[in-house]
Chain A
């Protein structure tokens, strides 16, 4: 028993090293350089610099109201950093997807119409037929093909959030930004959707390569991500970046591995320290 456990740990630390080496080699998906942001006199973000790589799942972890969501909004170009800050997406084929804490579905549109919405506004790159195909395939990805013509009020909270994820996936994003996407859901649904999300990220059917998820759950961040970016309270800065030494693909039950607990405990200590 003991030997297996330590064997596993060796394996885990080997993977850990591999991942670190990999990430130093791989291409950057997005870079934040010296990003500060203030609303009037209030400093929300203080000199944040982060590199996020392709094929990486990154969590941004921090206490409520520390500016995690603001960071995502900078990355979405909904907010601009103060002078001197910069956000760079090196890739030319960039497409961003966004999932909010609330599903933010239009109650007057059916599931499939909600999913099509991003494709029917803005640049309108697709024909009607393509939009239909894309929307239907992303509805299948989240397993709700039987609810195509249902309205949001006819769906449960978990289903609504799945529709929101499908809507983000329909536009073929390479980078998916999520703001506490499962924060409003119950524990059971949340756990289920966490793994569904991982499956979608790993799936070759989606164009998805990078996921950046804001969360305030330490467990969730460790279980899902390759790296956890820990934020300090307001004005938020990067407190620490921790690589998660868990093997991929992540599977149910990995939250029982010693490496999981060690990482969770390490993060928890940092939280207390703040």
Chain B
């Protein structure tokens, strides 16, 4: 426990040192505000409105994330049980993946308007592929002997799925979930760039029009925080659920 706290101190110390250096550089060299605001300058523009924009983006991202993962997992299960469907649909999924989300986002806004739904769908589209690929891989990754064990004792297909395939795929599923956390935020913000009147993407865009760099920084930092919060939440869940595996990252 003590070493854990000690380990957590390292990045904190370096972050503080970096912020102090930043503040000093800005003050000493009198760097103009529109180029680089000081950390204290950024902190002073962080207010409750930023918080509410952040909540909007987080909600959109989270909704897209959850929908994408539920759909992706279901699709993966279908793929694993039906070769024709896998062969037919997988190339389409790859085509969807290779289409840049930035190119699709305006269409989503035309179809669904500037409200939540276009951002949720944008976030969903970008999260869908990792979970699909990893779940298919995980569901197929069972040891041959484990399968033989279930066959020897006459395990049914559904028993093999629930008692073997699904739990064995969890490490793969969770690595996809962790990848998707940051992607979900990207999806939501791209959606907000195209057409929105709230959310962090909207704040970034508007502040760039006004050359309001401190506000822009505050929104950028807030979006990074959104991603971190999601990632940590998933990592925590992973450690609880896949207790038999040592995960070293964060």
Q: Are the C-beta atoms of B148 and A76 separated by less than 8 Å?
A: yes
* Of B29-37, B52-60, B84-92, B151-159, the one with at least 4 CB within 8 A of chain A: B151-159
Whether A67 is near chain B, meaning CB under 8 Å from some CB there, is no
Total A-B residue pairs with C-beta atoms closer than 8 Å? 52
Give the nearest-CB partner of B245 in chain A: A107
Whether B149 is near chain A, meaning CB under 8 Å from some CB there, is yes
Chain B residues 126-157 with CB under 8 Å of chain A are: 143, 145-146, 148-156
Alpha-carbon distance between A121 and B170 when the two chains are bound, in angstroms: 21
User: In the complex, which residues of chain B have a beta carbon less than 8 angstroms from the beta carbon of A96?
Assistant: 152
User: In the complex, which residues of chain B have a beta carbon less than 8 angstroms from the beta carbon of A98?
Assistant: 148-149, 152
Whether B164 is near chain A, meaning CB under 8 Å from some CB there, is yes
Q: Are the C-beta atoms of A104 and B149 separated by less than 8 Å?
A: yes
Q: Are the C-beta atoms of A108 and B244 separated by less than 8 Å?
A: yes
The listed residue (B145, B155, B243) touching A102 by CB distance below 8 A is B145
Alpha-carbon distance between A102 and B143 when the two chains are bound, in angstroms: 10
The DSSP consensus for interface residues of chain A is loop
Write the nearest CB–CB distance from A87 to chain B, whole angstroms: 14
Chain A residues 114-136 with CB under 8 Å of chain B are: 117-118, 121-123
Q: Are the C-beta atoms of B153 and A118 separated by less than 8 Å?
A: yes
Q: Are the C-beta atoms of B156 and A104 separated by less than 8 Å?
A: no
User: In the complex, which residues of chain A have a beta carbon less than 8 angstroms from the beta carbon of B245?
Assistant: 107
The DSSP consensus for interface residues of chain B is helix
Whether B167 is near chain A, meaning CB under 8 Å from some CB there, is yes
Q: Are the C-beta atoms of B244 and A121 separated by less than 8 Å?
A: no
User: In the complex, which residues of chain B have a beta carbon less than 8 angstroms from the beta carbon of A107?
Assistant: 244-245
Give the nearest-CB partner of A154 in chain B: B244
Alpha-carbon distance between A226 and B164 when the two chains are bound, in angstroms: 37
Q: Are the C-beta atoms of B153 and A121 separated by less than 8 Å?
A: yes
Whether B163 is near chain A, meaning CB under 8 Å from some CB there, is yes
Write the nearest CB–CB distance from A145 to chain B, whole angstroms: 22
User: In the complex, which residues of chain A have a beta carbon less than 8 angstroms from the beta carbon of B163?
Assistant: 106, 117, 121
Alpha-carbon distance between A117 and B152 when the two chains are bound, in angstroms: 12
> Could you pull out 25 A-B pairs where Cβ atoms are within 8 angstroms?
A73-B148, A78-B151, A96-B152, A98-B149, A98-B152, A100-B148, A104-B143, A104-B145, A104-B146, A106-B163, A106-B164, A106-B167, A107-B244, A108-B167, A117-B163, A118-B149, A121-B150, A121-B154, A121-B155, A121-B163, A122-B155, A123-B154, A151-B244, A152-B244, A171-B153
User: In the complex, given contacts A78-B148, A102-B143, what are 6 additional A-B residue pairs having Cβ atoms less than 8 angstroms apart?
Assistant: A98-B148, A104-B146, A104-B149, A117-B163, A118-B153, A123-B154
